[in-house]
């Protein structure tokens, strides 16, 4: 079928590079949805801006508070969406939110083998590797191999528990609090909580010695 | 809701080795595998209907189901305590004769 213009042309500023098949399809669908009045360009931009505004900082704050305040942690694990709302973190677009806590003997690691389900309101956009076929395949059948590539070599007596988020649940890992951080403030602790540690593929960062 | 769940916490379950066209949320690798119900998450709209512009009703029960990795993958370290937990809708599960936890 002949097209008079490239899909998406009227709605994208800037130079148009060669698009993959899937990108072309996505632009074509966007154009059709706008043409048919299902959504407006403003809706799409607003949603993109909303998504871009979310960063792992939200998750890092929740983890740092969980490290320092056992009562907070208990409430957060029992009703994470309520606690997010209290803190002004909009988690309303998450269907269900489940918190997993790492211990000495149990390590959680999150994947979505079907697509790229991820707690976006809390952690922002997932990293590209999270969406890659390589991670999605190997996270379930070789989780220890994946963790080793992130620099984590776990002893055999630790249970590695992979969570495949195939349905309505979105998972967040509370990594173990790094040793030697007893006198750090919540703000200082937040800086140690990386996105990847909340996916569960690595530890929180070690405290930087004074 | 969860009080009426067909499978209780700890129940041994097998994932149906069933293949149907269209949108499903049961990953291929777990079909036919035996594990246990860790807990019931409650009822959710059925993605097999939502994925095809349906209303997702009636709602279906969703379970967190645990599997030993050595029961899932040939060649996974036999002594390993490692597990994989998958969210599986009730109609994909059937009772099984027992799975180790």
**What is the domain partition of chain A in residue ranges?**
18-52, 55-199
B67 to chain A, any CB pair closer than 8 A? The answer is no
Considering only the top CATH level, what class is B2-95?
mainly beta
Q: Touching check for B43 and chain A: CB below 8 Å?
A: no
**If you write DSSP's letter for every residue of A91-143 in order, what string do you get?**
-TT-SEEEEEE--SSEEEEEE-SSS----HHHH-SPPHHHHSHHHHHHHHH-H
User: B41 vs A96: CB contact, 8 Å cut-off?
Assistant: yes
Bridge-based pairing of strands A106-111 and A159-164 is parallel
Q: What is the pLDDT along chain A (210 residues), one digit of tens a residue?
A: 444 455 544 555 555 678 889 889 999 999 999 999 999 999 999 988 888 888 899 999 999 999 999 999 999 999 999 999 999 988 888 889 999 999 999 999 999 999 889 998 899 889 999 999 999 999 999 999 999 999 999 999 999 999 999 998 999 999 999 999 999 999 999 999 999 999 999 999 998 765
* B9-68 residue pLDDT tens: 999 999 999 988 889 999 999 999 999 999 999 999 999 999 999 999 999 999 999 999
For the domain covering A55-199, report its CATH number: 3.90.330.10
The pLDDT assigned to A139 comes to 97
Q: What is the pLDDT, as a whole number, of residue B100?
A: 47
CA dihedral B64, B68, B74, B80 (to 10 degrees): 140
Contact across the interface for B29 and A140, Cβ inside 8 Å: yes
What sign has the CA pseudo-torsion A68, A71, A72, A77? positive
Contacts of residue A144 in chain B, CB cutoff 8 Å?
82
For the sheet with B83-89, list strands across it: A106-111, A159-164, B83-89, B60-68, B34-44, B12-15, B93-95
Of A20, A53, A92, A112, the active-site residue reads: A112
User: What pTM value is reported for the model?
Assistant: 0.87
- List the domain boundaries for chain B: 2-95
Shortest Cα distance from B97 to chain A (angstroms)? 23
Alpha-carbon distance of A115 to A109, in angstroms, equals 16
The SS3 assignment for A8 reads coil
Q: What is the pLDDT of residue A18?
A: 80
């Amino acid at each position: 079928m002949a097209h008079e213009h490239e899909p998406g042309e009227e709605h994208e500023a800037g130079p148009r590079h060669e698009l993959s098949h899937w990108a072309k399809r996505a632009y074509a669908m966007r154009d059709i949805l706008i043409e048919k009045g299902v959504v407006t360009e403003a809706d799409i931009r607003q949603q993109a801006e909303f998504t871009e505004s979310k960063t792992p900082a939200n998750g890092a704050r929740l983890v740092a508070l969980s490290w320092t305040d056992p009562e907070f942690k208990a409430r957060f694990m029992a009703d994470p969406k309520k606690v997010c709302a209290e803190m002004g973190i909009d988690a309303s677009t998450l269907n269900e939110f489940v918190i997993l806590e790492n211990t000495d003997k149990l390590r959680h690691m999150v994947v979505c083998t079907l697509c790229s389900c991820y707690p976006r309101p809390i952690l922002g956009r997932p990293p590209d590797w999270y969406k890659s076929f390589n991670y999605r395949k190997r996270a379930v059948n070789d989780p220890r191999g994946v963790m080793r590539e992130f620099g984590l070599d776990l002893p055999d007596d630790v249970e590695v528990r992979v969570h495949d988020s195939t349905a309505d649940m979105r998972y967040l890992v509370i990594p173990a609090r790094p040793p030697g951080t007893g006198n750090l403030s919540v703000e200082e602790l937040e800086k140690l909580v990386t996105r990847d540690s909340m996916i569960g593929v690595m530890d929180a960062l070690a405290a930087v010695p004074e | 809701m969860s009080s009426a769940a067909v499978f209780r916490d700890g129940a041994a379950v097998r994932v149906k080795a069933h293949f149907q066209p269209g949108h499903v949320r049961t990953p291929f690798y777990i079909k036919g595998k035996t594990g246990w119900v860790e807990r019931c998450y409650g009822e959710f709209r059925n993605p097999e209907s939502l994925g095809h512009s349906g209303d997702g009703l009636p709602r279906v029960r969703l379970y967190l189901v645990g599997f030993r990795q050595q029961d899932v993958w040939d060649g996974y370290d036999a002594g390993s305590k490692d597990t994989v937990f998958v969210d599986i809708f009730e109609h994909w599960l059937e009772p099984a004769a027992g799975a180790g936890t």
